[in-house]
Every structure is written in structure tokens, then in C-alpha cells.
Amino acid sequence: MDKTNLQLTLDTRPFASLEAEALVTYIFDEPDPIQGRLAEIDSSANGLLKRIAGSGEATGKTLEFTLIHAPGGLKASRLLLVGAGKREQFTGAILRRIAGAALRYLKSRSVKNFAFLIREGAAIGDNAQALAEGFITANFETDKYKTEKKNGKEIHSVVLTGYSDSEKAAAEKGLAVGKVIAESQNFTRDLVNEPSNVLTPRVLAEKAQVMAKEAGLAVDILDEKRIAELKMGALLSVAQGSAEPPRMIVITYTPTNAKPDAPVIGLVGKAVTFDTGGISIKPADGMEKMKYDMAGGATMLGAIRALAALKPNVKVICVVPSTENMPGGKAQKPGDIQTAMSGKTIEVLNTDAEGRLILADAVHYAKQLGVTHIVDAATLTGAIVVALANINVGVFGSDQPWTDKLLASAKATGEKMWQMPMDDEYREFIKGSFADIQNIGSGKGGGSITGAWFIREFAGDTPWIHLDIAGTAWNDDAKPWLAKGPTGVALRTLVHLVQSF
Ligand code: BES
Ligand code: ZN
Ligand code: ZN
């Protein structure tokens, strides 16, 4: 599902003249909410909106819906008012959610097309981008394997309105960028949604290869033979318990005017297509969710897919190690000592701390390929869910200026991320007793930080950021603006980070 079947267009004609099954706009929570364009609608509808607001039915509270049928003065057959909260707190992130929630609200009511009216005085390019992102990500459903789809309920087209002729070019640009980013986010979510019996490491690599070819990106898939030749002992140690061979997916974006000594960004993502825990096996309850343990890798594949279309002026190498983590007669066992590609020896105290093992070799390989700045994304620890729940991505960094850039991109794209501490003291927790390092901390808490420190050992002096997306890559419940399941979190931030580099 990389191409959306939702038609998104712009129409600068007067919004009242647009024929549609619904006209959607938003209302702020303020003493007199019927202002600007709402006042225009109100006067052609004989004071209808003032009556609805005056009675307390429409208050502007965030994501409150008021559906009005046959509104006077509009060609549209319905008017949907979506609460936008306080005007001073309004952001692109809220607009994105309003757009998504409106689409899902109308879709569930069998509406097939609608127009969305941007309110007066909005910043144009950015908000058309936010709208496109909101609509396209909201339209994504996880019913691929259901033989009966949602009763054929589908939104075919959305028209953006309220833009003047002079604002049109900027809005069209924003719309196009938003489409690329949201379709890539849905590409990521589609991969994460696949069950592990369908999406094995080999299948993930094939899909990555098809995507790269379509996007015009260079691709190199390392199979188990090349992985062994390169002595990627940490990745191999996780893969040895599985009947499915591992893959290392490498995709490169090179800008047209690439300079030889320019920085190269490495996007490294954990892609464990299923994490049973291995011999340190996980409890049965909830284990099915561990098909999402490849979300970090899928996020990086989606990000480079978007970058191929947006053409930033910086080289990007995406490195995605992929394997299953299985128990079995050949599986590694607690206490086993492995040698990573870098030469460092690792004492595997818990086979369920496998993400950091495969990332160790991926980060080292990315450095060999010439990356100068690294970001990794991984569903790495249950501990980050304890710390930040499903609200914030955990951010860990070895270089504050580089980390600050990412945090600024997160802010700009409305993704919640929170920096975690990386004091040297935590490094002591993973000092090995019988090898250089051990793959879990020695019982003193701080599980997400010790996980991050383990990866950092392999990044060395190269500026590095780790995103722990274990809590945020999967919505256990549907949101008004997003289906239950994979979220595609961090992709927008990563694309923004590369574009603003
Ligand atoms: N894939 C899991 C992380 C995870 C755990 C995500 C629970 C969501 C919910 C990872 O490979 C893992 O199992 N981590 C262990 C590390 C521990 C053994 C140090 C964990 O968090 O329990
Ligand atoms: Zn695990
Ligand atoms: Zn895992």
C-alpha cells in the first residue's frame, strides 16, 4: 500500500459553491467562536452556526464533532465542524489530527467525498502538507487480511479549499510533499502490519529491493553467506536459532551534486520479523505483537523512500539488519560469547536482548560504508514503555548538537520525543565479566539506557542518535485519526532531519 487511492486536490473557487457530500472545517474554543469564515457561513445560513454555538452544542473542544445536514447557503450537503481547541494552542500537529479524524468520522458514515475548508489566516504551504499527511495516514486500514472489508466504505476524494489564487502554488507544493511523506509512512505501516509468517527477513529484503528500484535508489542485499564472510557475528548469533536466513538490507540515496567529503547520514533500523525472545523466551500473553519488532527497519525504509522523491542535498545510507529471534536446537544460549563484526566480544546474558546485537553489526557496517552521522530506530526495550508509555519516543544521543537537530525536527513535525540521559555511569552496567561487554545491564534498572549504551559502543566517536520506538510504533487502540496498529512514528522527523541537514 505505497500508493494511496485517495484523490487529494486543491480548489480555489469560493467554498460555498463546491459540491460535495460534506464541507469540513474547524472551530476554536473561544468566547465568540463564529468568526472569519465561520461567520461567512453563518450569515448565509441565517444565523445557524451562532445558534448551535450559543446553545453549547458546538464548543470548539478538541476533536468534538458537530454534523449539520443541508446547511443553508452551501452547495455541500453537510457541514462538519471539528473542534480545534484554543486558538493560541493551535499547531500543524492539531490540524493534521483534525484532518485525519474528520476523514475517519465521515468514512464511517459512508461519505465518499468531502471538501476541507482551511480557516482564515493560516500558514499555507505547511498546513497543506499537514492536511495531506492527516488525510492519507488516516485513510490507511489494517484490514488487508479480512475477507469482508469495512462494507466497502471508502473515501474517494478530498478537496482542499479556502486558498486564494496567490496562495495556490505554495499550497500545491505542500500538498505534494505531504503526499510523499504520508504514502511512505503508510508503506512503513503496511510492512509492520504484515504477520511474521508472511514477512520473513527474505521477504522484507525483496520488498525493500522492489521499493528501491521503483524509487531509483541503489540497493545491496547481503544474504547469509555474505553476512558470514563479513563476520557479522552478532547478527548471526541471533539468526542461528531460526530456519529463516538473515538479511542485511543496504539502500543508498546519492544527491545529484554529491561532494566527496560531504557528510553522509546513516539510517539504521532494527528489523526482527518476529521476536520470541529465543531461549530466554517471552511469556505467551501478548507475544503476537512481536511481529512489530521490525518497525525500526520499516521506518528507515519508508524514510529513504520519501527522501528519494524529495531529493535532499545530502547522501543517505539506510542499513537494516533483519532476522527472526527463535528458540531451537541451534539457538544461542544465555552465557554464549559472540564476536561482533567490529571485533568486540559480547556475553549474551539474555537472548531476548537481541535488537542491540543486530544493531551492533549494522552500525559498524554503516560506518565502514562511510556514514558520518547515525540515527538508529528500534523497538528496543519494554523499559521505554515503562518510562514514557505510548506517548513519547525515547531519544538517546552521543553528540548534543546532532541530538538537538533531531529534537528540533521532531518539534517541527509534531512528533513527541523525549531525550533520555546517557551519563557515563550507565556504561558500567554493561561491562562484561567474561567478555568485553554484556548484552543486558547488571540488575540496576535503567533498561532503555543500558540498551542504548550497548549500541553506542559500536557507534564510537561517530555522532549517533538512538530512537527507542517500542512504546510508540504500535497503537494498541484506534485513535480518532489513526487505525489501531502500526503508527509509522519517527518517519516524519527523520525526513525533516535529513532535509534540513
Ligand atoms: N523487542 C523487545 C522490546 C519490547 C519488549 C518491545 C516489550 C515491546 C514490549 C526486545 O527485543 C526485548 O525483548 N527487550 C528486552 C530486553 C531485556 C531482556 C534486557 C525487554 O525489554 O524486556
Ligand atoms: Zn527481544
Ligand atoms: Zn526485539
Written as one string, the DSSP assignment of 281-349 is: PPPSTTGGGGGGGGHHHHHHHHHHHHHHHH--SSEEEEEEEEEEE--STTS--TTEEEE-TTS-EEEES
Find the 303 Cα to ligand 3 centroid distance in Å: 21
Ligand 1 atom showing the smallest separation from residue 290 Cα: 1
Span 149-175, pLDDT tens digits: 766 789 999 999 999 999 999 999 999
Which residues are bridge partners to 397 per DSSP? 465
Find the 164 Cα to ligand 2 centroid distance in Å: 53
* Nearest CA residue ID for atom 22, ligand 1: 382
**Best residue for ligand 1 mutational test, from 196, 293, 352 (most atoms within 8 Å of Cβ):** 352
Which residues are designated catalytic?
282, 356
Specify the pLDDT at position 258: 83
Find the 39 Cα to ligand 3 centroid distance in Å: 53
Helices (H) and strands (E) in the chain, counts: 15, 20
Q: For residue 454, give the ligand nearest its CA.
A: 1
* Nearest CA residue ID for atom 13, ligand 1: 352
What are the pocket residues of ligand 1 if the criterion is a CB atom closer than 6 Å to any ligand atom? 275, 293, 350, 352-355, 379-383, 385, 440, 447, 470
Specify the pLDDT at position 241: 98
Q: For residue 273, give the ligand nearest its CA.
A: 3
| Burial class for 108, CB neighbours closer than 10 Å (0-12, 13-18, 19+) | exposed
Find the 70 Cα to ligand 3 centroid distance in Å: 52
CA separation, residue 429 to residues 238, 435, 461 (Å): 22, 14, 20
Specify the pLDDT at position 164: 92
Q: Against a cut of 0.85, is the pTM above it?
A: yes
Q: Is 36 left (phi over 0), alpha (psi -120 to 50) or beta?
A: left
Ligand 1 atom showing the smallest separation from residue 451 Cα: 19
Nearest to 336 by CA among 326, 325, 345: 345
Ligand 1 atom showing the smallest separation from residue 350 Cα: 18
Give the span between the Cα atoms of 227 and 346, in whole angstroms. 18
Which residues are bridge partners to 318 per DSSP? 251, 267
Give the span between the Cα atoms of 350 and 281, in whole angstroms. 9
Nearest to 280 by CA among 232, 335, 359, 322: 335
Specify the pLDDT at position 2: 42
Give the span between the Cα atoms of 99 and 175, in whole angstroms. 13
In the block, cell 536482548 appears at 353
Q: For residue 451, give the ligand nearest its CA.
A: 1
| Burial class for 329, CB neighbours closer than 10 Å (0-12, 13-18, 19+) | exposed
Nearest to 379 by CA among 483, 251, 273: 273
Helix (H) or strand (E) holding 404, with range, is: helix 400-413
Specify the pLDDT at position 1: 45
Average pLDDT per consecutive 10 residues, the chain (501 residues; last block may be shorter): 77 96 98 96 96 97 98 97 96 96 97 96 84 98 87 90 94 97 98 98 99 98 98 99 99 93 98 98 98 99 99 98 98 98 98 99 99 99 98 98 98 98 97 97 93 98 99 98 98 98 93
Specify the pLDDT at position 4: 61
Helix (H) or strand (E) holding 89, with range, is: none
Find the 269 Cα to ligand 1 centroid distance in Å: 15
